[in-house]
Structure 1
Amino acid sequence: MSIKTFKSIGIGVAYSPNLKANLFEAARLAVFFKAKLFLIHVGEASEDKKNMLRVILKSFEKDNLDYEVVFKKGDPVNVILSTSEEKKIDLLILGALQRERFVKYYIGSIARKITRQAKCSVLLLIKPSVNRVACQHIVVNGLKDPKTAQTIKRAFYVGHKLKSQKITIVEEINKEELAVKVEDDKSLRRATIMKERIKLRENLRIKEIIEHIPKQYTENIVVKSQPIFGKKGYSIGHYAQISRADLLIMNAPTKMTFWDRLFPHDIEHILTELPTDVLILQ
């Protein structure tokens, strides 16, 4: 199975205090992945706007940054989604918001709608920076799912390009798999043995996936496998937070229904309170 790479990156451009930091993050990623960068502005074109973007991105001329500015009027969600499809964007970058007085980040309504509807991968940034903050530790989901093998392979591709030092693969295991009610020492031993068997099974499954990843992406990266018993989405988000991961990589949900919005699970737990920068892979 070949690894899908990022050839085009898109970012919505709003003339806000975070503009320079957002553009620097997007431009750096475009350079790292050797991708074309599309700057999408919802509104009318003007020479002043173009010139402002040119000035901000001037320092990336030496890196041969290839970028294009797209101006389009309309609803922000529709404009960003339609431009992403028209330009065949592989990775869309969106900013998150910080709650007042709390160091917790969440997605605004526009970014949430885009994240749910985007047909490409989405990167949610919680603290964009003009100066690069190295992405040293990546956490990626290893849950049993048809998309997971490709997600793990692409996580190693991302880690290789960003020169990350460590990748932790978190296998979230549903507590229902432990069909033993602990009532005494005997049942506790039985539950412990069952838990260890499940962990071993999951680790072997992940090991097999890693063996099929090209060596160029796995060398020089410390790999850790971490089985966790708990609620999907919440457990991995909590782990990414306490382990101070720089990036959390997740499968895109197969389908979002009305009930997913009412009863958050899996990816919705992550979107509710972002533990770190999150990359959702399509």
Structure 2
Amino acid sequence: MFSKIALAIAFSPRMEALLAEAKRIKSIFGAELLLIHVGEKTSESESKLQNLIEQQGLIGTDIKTLWEEGNPAKKILKVCDQNDVDLLIAGALKTEGFFKYYLGSIARKIIRKSKCSVLVLIEPMIKPEPFERVVINGTQQEQTPFVIEQGLNWCKKDKAKQVYIANEIKMYGLQMATASEGGEDEIAATRRKLISEEITYVENILKHLDKGNLKISIKITCGKWAIELARFATDVKADLLIVGDEGNLGFFHRLFPHDLEEILSDLPCNLLIVKK
């Protein structure tokens, strides 16, 4: 699934934890690890990073460090392109004094323009743990079968204990308003039909995929999609939310600048954006 992983590093208090998380994911996929730092290379910073690498037991493994100077987002994206990176790992920021996580401007630019998948970690740990509860976006889009397949592959590798696939009923309010003209029986029948159609959509994708021993539940939502997806991830205490990207036709086109800002300004959990 991922053969080359990159970690965007900054000399912050969470750098050690991010490196530990990257090591765990590197191990899961048997991947190479590329460390990218955009900023001045000094003997002090080089020594500090080398010490952290040694502490994580990464000496002698498939790991390379690149020091760059210039625009952080552009440099990180360029390095990922030049090195055929499959997955870029970055840390979210935590609002001062609040239990709230968000993406800074650099991370937002990376998410919009990255050609590789991006994993955003909200609370990296020095002793990382698997993502046990995972929500995968299953709303009807061209790339959804690929997103679900990749999501399940991740969950199998990481031995997730519970996987939820969340699908939405499109134009729910309009369809129910039309049904209301026929009375309560028609409203109930329409609602059952809409839910059944969305469940069937996901089931038809799943029947062609290797699910391993995963425990999978399908959840149907209605309302403002991005908000409902984030709310559901919060309600089930998800460790990871997996979504897809279809360039100008998919997730980001649909969400920017309003809906995605709702998620990125208050991340419900770790976020994996899967890209082809």
Amino acid at match of 2:258: P
Equivalent position to 1:71, from 49, 58, 67: 67
| Distance (whole Å) between structure 2 residues aligned to residue 97 and residue 268 of structure 1 | 14
On the 8 A contact 2:180/2:186 being kept in 1, the answer is: no
Could you tell which deviates more after superposition, 99-108 or 121-130?
Answer: 99-108
Indicate how the Cα distance of structure 1 residues 56 and 40 shifts in structure 2: closer, same or farther if over 3 A, else same: same
Equivalent position to 2:116, from 106, 114, 120: 120
User: Partner of 2:231 in structure 1?
Assistant: 238
User: Partner of 2:263 in structure 1?
Assistant: 270
| Distance (whole Å) between structure 1 residues aligned to residue 58 and residue 35 of structure 2 | 19
Q: How does 1:26-41 map to 2 (within 5 A)?
A: 26-41=22-37
Equivalent position to 2:38, from 39, 42, 65: 42
**Structure 2 residues without counterparts, runs of 5 or longer:** none
Amino acid at match of 1:224: S
TM-score (structure 1 length as normaliser): 0.89
User: Partner of 1:178 in structure 2?
Assistant: 175
On the 8 A contact 2:118/2:274 being kept in 1, the answer is: yes
Q: CA deviation at 1:98?
A: 1.6
Q: Which runs of 4+ in 1 moved over 6 A?
A: none
Q: CA deviation at 1:181?
A: 4.8
| Distance (whole Å) between structure 1 residues aligned to residue 209 and residue 73 of structure 2 | 36
TM-score (structure 2 length as normaliser): 0.90
Q: How does 1:182-221 map to 2 (within 5 A)?
A: 187-214=183-210, 218-221=211-214
Indicate how the Cα distance of structure 1 residues 65 and 29 shifts in structure 2: closer, same or farther if over 3 A, else same: farther
| Distance (whole Å) between structure 2 residues aligned to residue 207 and residue 182 of structure 1 | 26
| Distance (whole Å) between structure 1 residues aligned to residue 180 and residue 240 of structure 2 | 40
On the 8 A contact 1:181/1:187 being kept in 2, the answer is: no
On the 8 A contact 2:176/2:191 being kept in 1, the answer is: no
Amino acid at match of 2:264: L
On the 8 A contact 1:27/1:65 being kept in 2, the answer is: no
| Distance (whole Å) between structure 1 residues aligned to residue 185 and residue 241 of structure 2 | 34
User: Partner of 1:96 in structure 2?
Assistant: 92
Q: Give the SS at the match of 2:183.
A: helix
User: Partner of 1:146 in structure 2?
Assistant: 142
On the 8 A contact 2:180/2:187 being kept in 1, the answer is: no
Could you tell which deviates more after superposition, 57-66 or 109-118?
Answer: 57-66
On the 8 A contact 1:172/1:231 being kept in 2, the answer is: no
Paired residue total: 271
- Please say if 1:166 is aligned against 2:162: yes
Q: Give the SS at the match of 2:36.
A: strand
What's the C-alpha RMSD, in Å, of the aligned pairs? Answer: 2.2
Indicate how the Cα distance of structure 1 residues 199 and 177 shifts in structure 2: closer, same or farther if over 3 A, else same: farther
Percent identity of equivalent pairs: 30
**Structure 1 residues without counterparts, runs of 5 or longer:** none
For residues 114-149 of structure 1, what are the alpha-carbon distances to aligned partners after superposition, in whole Å with 9 as ceiling and x for unaligned? 111111111111101101233111000111001100
Amino acid at match of 1:180: A
